[in-house]
Structure 1
């Protein structure tokens, strides 16, 4: 009898321990718990920490709500029908307040069912609005538009877009050669334009210098009058008299000799 009581007591203790074990659950950091009752999703969402549940009837499905990263390579066509390969990195997270709806409507494979197709669709839709050259020169604008469209798509499925980064756009070899040739031609044209402007400026400077010199000559000619010539002649004679020693020359050059006044 005593042995039977001990056995029953042990069984009761085991049952209590089992029931207690299945009556509690713990939600790890960075997760939320979706409460399932006999397989049906309940409105209750378990946050991080310790929780009670009905054993054998209720279970908890953990879903991560941390920021997740998805990298992919997508191929699309530009507005001018150039094939473009883009490397995209997307950071997103599950809405902590809607993990039960996400699990009920989509399931745990939301990345392959929703995220990857949404990235591809958004990138192709925006890329088709720009030419290949604009995709290069307007990458921030393109990235912003892709982010807006992708964010709107993910929101419908209880996910939050944190950030998107288009790492690079890759084009065909023929297009790269065409871009390189165009850049070379533009650089040559710019160099020729600068040379032409330099030559033009130098020519204008020479014309201006010649005009200034001609103007100076004209002013000098205007200043030369009969009175000025006569004044200059008087000045020359005065300087000659200042140098004369008072004696007349006795001999002068030429075939006819001077008479000696002495």
Structure 2
């Protein structure tokens, strides 16, 4: 085996060193991520430039890159909170959040990679306790879930607005009350529903009775007016008209015998 020329040894060593430097310097940022550059000899965390975007980057081997996920993420949390009358309530909620892209460097410098535990979670818990404490268990169980969801979101967003975090939404997924309280609320709601149904039936029956009374009164008034307008002369004329019409019938033979007490003709016989 032939020995390498003397000039070849330094070249090989140089290539190895170069390969190590490139390996240490190569950084790949995946989709949905951003890189925060830390310059060891250049002032620390870079905050006055955009973060490293997706793709391949070469950085000096003595510098560091901290990778943050910047796509929207979801946080699930179960919390024990107190209602306005001091009862324990379990709240299941989730938050949609992400780091503010252009401020990832400031987020890393001022808060750190565990910003979720340091900032977001404590803020959500504090806001949830504050909001839920304004409502009774009955309100939380029935009609106020959307309201507390909105209020927790607004309070949390207000607190973290200067913390380089974007909060998109907070969802209250479940409100769990003690079983005894839940059963009592359900009984009360059932009784209220039954009471409303009874009141509805009562109002309906009252309206129907009033309708019948008005119709009967109308008929009575009509009959009274009709009776007052009928004289003996009108009745006699109506009787004569009816007799004439009857005499015209092809199926009848009319024989006028005389007249009754009213003076109307008497009609006898038919086919």
Quote the residue 2:247 is aligned against.
none
Is 2:176 the partner of 1:170?
Answer: yes
Q: CA deviation at 1:201?
A: 2.2
Q: Cα distance 1:174–1:238, how it changes in 2: closer, same or farther (>3 A)?
A: same
CA-to-aligned-CA distance 1:64-118 (integer Å, 9 cap, x gap): 2122211011121223434321111111111121222222222222222222212
Report matched runs for 1:250-261 at 5 Å: none
Quote the residue 2:265 is aligned against.
239
Q: Cα distance 1:221–1:47, how it changes in 2: closer, same or farther (>3 A)?
A: closer
In terms of Rg, which structure is larger? 1
Q: CA deviation at 1:225?
A: 5.0
Q: Cα distance 1:84–1:239, how it changes in 2: closer, same or farther (>3 A)?
A: same
Q: CA deviation at 1:2?
A: 6.2
Quote the residue 1:200 is aligned against.
206
Tell me the SS of whatever aligns to 2:134: coil
Quote the residue 2:64 is aligned against.
59
| RMSD (Å) for aligned C-alpha atoms | 2.8
2:45 to 41, 61, 81: 41
Q: Cα distance 1:176–1:225, how it changes in 2: closer, same or farther (>3 A)?
A: same
Q: Cα distance 1:234–1:108, how it changes in 2: closer, same or farther (>3 A)?
A: same
How far, CA to CA, are the matches of 2:263 and 2:22 in structure 1?
A: 139
How far, CA to CA, are the matches of 2:94 and 2:168 in structure 1?
A: 11
Tell me the SS of whatever aligns to 2:6: helix
Q: Cα distance 1:15–1:191, how it changes in 2: closer, same or farther (>3 A)?
A: closer
Quote the residue 1:88 is aligned against.
93
1:116 to 111, 118, 121: 121
Q: Give the TM-score, by structure 2 length.
A: 0.76
Is 2:83 the partner of 1:78?
Answer: yes
CA-to-aligned-CA distance 1:34-77 (integer Å, 9 cap, x gap): 1122383233432222223222x212121221222110111212
Structure with greater helix percent: 1
CA-to-aligned-CA distance 1:192-243 (integer Å, 9 cap, x gap): 2122223322322332243234324433542455767998896644435x66
Q: Cα distance 1:220–1:58, how it changes in 2: closer, same or farther (>3 A)?
A: closer
Quote the residue 2:149 is aligned against.
143
Greater displacement, 43-52 / 183-192: 43-52
Query: Number of matched residues?
Result: 241
Tell me the SS of whatever aligns to 1:157: coil
Q: What are structure 2's unaligned runs of at least 5 residues?
A: 240-258
Quote the residue 1:5 is aligned against.
7
Greater displacement, 215-224 / 173-182: 215-224
How far, CA to CA, are the matches of 2:235 and 2:11 in structure 1?
A: 148
Q: Cα distance 1:4–1:80, how it changes in 2: closer, same or farther (>3 A)?
A: same
Q: Cα distance 1:108–1:234, how it changes in 2: closer, same or farther (>3 A)?
A: same
Q: Give the TM-score, by structure 1 length.
A: 0.79
How far, CA to CA, are the matches of 1:32 and 1:216 in structure 2?
A: 90
1:154 to 160, 172, 176: 160
